[in-house]
Amino acid sequence: MTIAAQGSRLEAIPRPASVLQRNVNLLRELAVTQFKLKYTGSALGYVWSLVKPAMLFGIMYAVFSVLLRAGSSTPDFTVQLLFAIVIWTFFTESTVVAVNSVVASANLIRKAYFPRWIIVVASILTALMTFLINAALIIVITVPLGSMHLGLRSLAAPLLLVELLMLIIGLSLLLSSLFVYYRDVGHIWEICTLVLFYGSAIVYPFVLFQQHHVAVIAGLNPLAQIVEDLRHALVTPGAPWTMTLLGGLYAVPVLLSVGVFVLGFYVFHRLTPRFAENL
Amino acid sequence: MSVAIHAKGLNKCFRVPLDRSTTLKYRVTHLRSASRYRDFYALRDVSFDVPEGQFLGITGPNGCGKSTLLKILARILRPDSGEVAVNGEVSSFLELGVGFNPELTARENVFLAGAVLGLSRAQLARQINAIMHFADLAEFADAKLKNYSSGMQVRLAFTVAITASAEILLMDEVLAVGDARFQDKCFEVFSQFKRDGKTIVLVSHDLGILERYCDRLLLLYHGQVLDDGPPARVTSHYRSIVAEEEAAEGGAAVAAAAVLGA
């Protein structure tokens, strides 16, 4: 159909028939826009997303590796630390931004109809783009140096990333919807990330948990399990899978990730209808 | 003729908190007083059907529930009870420029706001020049939106909004903005939409516009449908109520002045 007014003409555009296609389209537009906005306007632009994890890596390397000699008995600890810091940065940036995402999009939610989870997942996708670029850079640098040890076990890496994404999406949906009603959630989550940072064997090797039962308890934390298994899959073939350590309890961190994913969608779905009037 | 919008027995009540209760500490320390809310009934038992192709106006004083009703039709709010059915592709303009970001260029904003409306980037890309031209902004397509005047932003927003093909349009006071020339353009478009048999719901305070364009007018008062019929009759009903209220208030003011003076 053509719309004509005051001499100019416009062809009306039909919406795609499939709702999925509309949602994917909106998801992509929001994620790409956020990514662009995050890195335009500053002089160094995208470089900042590299500088921040690089600084964190430098500081953690100086403190834990040089001063405390945390990884002296672990081969490849430097590369392990680098990997863990990049995974950690993705985890914390995506969740912290996502928790606030629904409230930050209050105007959009009050004035337009679309599935609300798109906002949360778009903000995670923005962080994922940064993560993928950083990870690609590390691989490009470390593979020629011979610091990465790839093999059949590396095929587990994509599965572990899926587990990480489920954990992140679940947590983000859960926390962002609760944040609409309880603003304390933002602060509580910041404290939790600090606990997770030091409790998930990010800045020290997992073998530092010397007592068996302490190691088992630490391994039940999905983030510790994901980081440790990714290290094994990509960097240090000598270190065991957490499955070897946990045995049947290996189901706990995996089920926790899946459980958080399901719970996140459930809580978000239950709270969504009243977002518009509570924002 | 088939029904485009069906609303039956709609109720909507907002719980207006009387105290700050968005912190956990407050919730924990004030367990007993958790019910410190005032219930505000925005809509009470609102029912109406809009046949396909009708131009329905909704009016009423501030706080009568007009916008709440429109948001329920647009699926942004969920009614507490009652049923709503909207049959057909809907475009809702509750505000012009939803999804716009001032840091992006006009062109990028078209893609973003278009995506919020459900349009795909590929389709918008084919039409982008026509859209910028229709909005009289062809030369400024790559300027950032923050450098646009408010009038230019409104033109762009309106053009994006009408680009999405829809059978049902829900509009809230869209016409209150923009200069005379732009308003003429809006009405040219609306007249065409009406000729094309689209169903339009317009919420407005402008009784002149409502009388001129609507086929039927709904008068809301304290969340209830007070009148529903031909625009000329409903607007005169509304005007008489306003006049009565003003007279009553005037009387009260005179009485109060007399008391104060005594």
Q: Judge whether B253 lies within some domain.
A: no
ipTM of the complex model: 0.84
- The whole-angstrom separation of Cα B164 and Cα A82 is 48
Q: What is the pLDDT of residues A139-193, one digit of tens each?
A: 888 888 777 778 888 888 999 999 999 999 999 999 999 999 998 999 999 999 9
Distances from the Cα of A183 to the Cα of A102, A105, A189, A196, B25, angstroms? 12, 15, 11, 21, 11
Question: How many Cβ pairs within 8 Å bridge chains A and B?
Answer: 123
CA nearest to B132 within chain A? A10
For B149-194, the DSSP string reads -HHHHHHHHHHHHHHB--SEEEEESGGGSS-HHHHHHHHHHHHHHH
Tell which of A20, A113, A187 to mutate to test the B interface (max B CBs under 10 Å): A113
pLDDT at B225 exceeding the cut of 70: yes
Task: Select from A8, A30, A276 the Cβ nearest to the Cβ of B76.
Answer: A276
Q: Is residue B259 part of a domain?
A: no
Q: What is d(CA B196, CA B136) in angstroms, rounded to the nearest whole number? A: 24
Predicted confidence (pLDDT) at residue B261 exceeds the cutoff of 60: no
Task: Quote the tokens at residue A266.
Answer: 């459930």
The first and second tokens of residue B74, run together, are: 């647009």
CA atoms within 13 A on the CB side of B86: 20
Q: Are A207 and A73 in contact (CB under 8 A)?
A: yes
CATH number at B207 reads 3.40.50.300
Min CA distance, A95 vs chain B (Å)? 20
pLDDT in tens, A224-258: 999 999 988 888 877 788 888 888 888 899 999 99
The DSSP letter of residue A266 is H
Tell which wins on pLDDT, A45 or A34. Answer: A34
What string of H, E and C letters represents the secondary structure of A13-29?
ECCCCCHHHHHHHHHHH
Confidence class for position B262, pLDDT limits 50, 70, 90: very low
Q: Evaluate whether residue B256 is within a structural domain.
A: no
Tell me how far CA of residue A140 lies from CA of A44, A134, A148, B115, in angstroms.
Answer: 22, 10, 10, 35
Residue B228 domain flag: yes
Q: B31 lies in which domain range?
A: 3-241
Dump pLDDT digits (tens) for A46-69.
788 888 888 888 888 888 778 877
Beta strands A2-5 and B199-203, pairing class: unpaired
Number of domains in chain B: 1
